[in-house]
Amino acid sequence: MRKSGNKSRFKLQIINKSALILLAVLLGIVAVSSIWIWWMMLWIPEKSYQGKLPPLKTAEITL
């Protein structure tokens, strides 16, 4: 039987520095996008409708 003297030679490294950097960039993009979407949902309607609503049309009444 042959003994393996260097086991780390065949070790598969899944998480390395470039993968962590890519993961951090992707998480940053997701975080910024989520904050932007949340901000837009809250602040897009700057003005509410004020005043009396117009009367319904006949097509709207039949619905």
Taking residue 28's Cβ as centre, other Cβ atoms within 10 Å add up to 10
Tell me the pTM. Answer: 0.49
Q: How many distinct structural domains can be found in the chain?
A: 1
d(CA 54, CA 2): 89
CA distance 15 to 22: 11
Per the structure, the complete domain to which residue 26 belongs is given by 17-45
pLDDT digits (tens, 9 = 90+) for 4-46: 555 556 666 778 888 899 999 999 999 999 999 998 888 766 6
Task: Give the contacts of 4 (CB within 8 A, at least 6 positions apart).
Answer: 10
| Inside any domain, residue 4 | no
Tokens 């009444």 — which residue? Answer: 61
Place of tokens 């393996």: 4
Does 6 map to a domain?
no
